[in-house]
Structure formats: C-alpha cells, structure tokens
Structure 1
C-alpha cells in the first residue's frame, strides 16, 4: 500500500510542478509581450516595466489568453499604433516559446 501512496504523491508533486511551470511561462510570455508593446507605444524604463506589469495583470481577468490580447490590441489601437491581430497573435506565440525556454533553463 505504501508504494501506491508514494506513487500517488509523486504524481501529485509532478502535476503541481508542471502547473507551476506553465503558470510561470505564461506570466513570462505576458511580461515579454508587454515589453514589446511598450516599445511600440514609446514607453521606456520604468514606464515600460509598469506597462508590462499591467499586461501580466490583465491575464487574471478571465481564463485563457484573450484578455491579454484584448489589452495589448486595444492599447495599441488607442495610441494609433497599427499592428494587426495576426501580428499580435504571432508575437504571442513566438514569445510563448521564448518564455518556455527561459523558464525551463531556470530549472
């Protein structure tokens, strides 16, 4: 019985570890996206980091990544920065790969 319990605990620990890694990668992707958009908006330094934090926080509005997309898309449009939907989504996909690599490298 203890082998079964040990296996169950091991699987639970792996699930928790994988979920934490996924969360970190998504937050990192959102931060990188926020920094990219901040540059397009003309923000630098602290203003760019503050905007990136706003993008990260936007991800908690609803499940999925649409809330992040909407924030960046609407902010760019409001400032007259012309970036189409496909370009933003492509950047999100590219940065997801980068974020996953960075989180994996951190251990």
Structure 2
C-alpha cells in the first residue's frame, strides 16, 4: 500500500504546484495587462503602478477573466482610447504568454 500512498502524495504535490503556478501566471498577466492599458491611456509611472494593482484586484471579483476584461475595456473607453472587446481579449492572450514566459525564466 505504500506505493499507492506515495503516488497519491506525489499527485497531490503536483496538483498543488500546478495550482500555485496557474495563480502566479494569472496575477503576473493581470499586472502586465494593467501596464499595457496604462500605456494606452497615457498614465504617469505612478498612475501605471496603481492601475496595474487595481487590475490585479479586479480579478478577485468573480471567477474567470470576464471581470478583468470588463474593467480594462470600460477604463480604456472611458479614457477615450479607441479599442474594442477583441483587442482587449488579444491583449489578454498575449500577456498570458508573456507572464508564463517570465515565470519560466525566473525558475
């Protein structure tokens, strides 16, 4: 039975590592999205930092990415940036890849 117990513990450890990595990728992606949107809105460096943190916080409103997309799209349109839903979704995809790359390089 110890072989099965060892396998179970290994699977649990892998699951925990994978979940941790997914969380870190999402948080990094959201920060990068905040920085991307801040550039579009022509914010100052101080405003950019605060805005990136606000985007990270927005992700805790509901499960999935829709809360972040809504925030970004709403803020960009309110700032007079000519954008649409598809552009924001492409930015989400691009920043997800970049966040994963950054975290993989850091390891």
TM-score by length of 1: 0.95
Cα RMSD (Å) of the superposition?
Answer: 0.9
Q: Distance in 2 between matches of 1:11 and 1:25?
A: 21
Report the alpha carbon displacement of residue 19 of structure 1 after superposing the two structures with TM: 0.5
1:92 and 2:92 matched: yes
Q: Distance in 1 between matches of 2:89 and 2:56?
A: 16
Residues in 2 aligned to 1:49 and 1:12: alpha-carbon distance in whole angstroms: 36
- Provide Cα deviations, 1:25-64, integer angstroms capped at 9, x if missing partner: 0111110000000111111212101100000100000000
What secondary structure sits across from 2:35 in the alignment? helix
Structure 2, unaligned runs of 5 or more: none
| 1:5 CA drift (Å) | 0.9
Under a length normalisation based on structure 2, what TM-score does the superposition of the two structures give? 0.95
Tell me how far apart the structure 2 counterparts of residues 106 and 16 of structure 1 sit (CA, whole Å).
19
Instruction: State the shift of 1:95 in Å.
Output: 0.8
Which residue does 2:78 correspond to in 1? 78
Taking the TM superposition and a 5 Å limit, the aligned residue runs for 1:7-86 are 7-86=7-86
The number of aligned residues is 107
- Identify unmatched segments of 5+ residues in structure 1: none
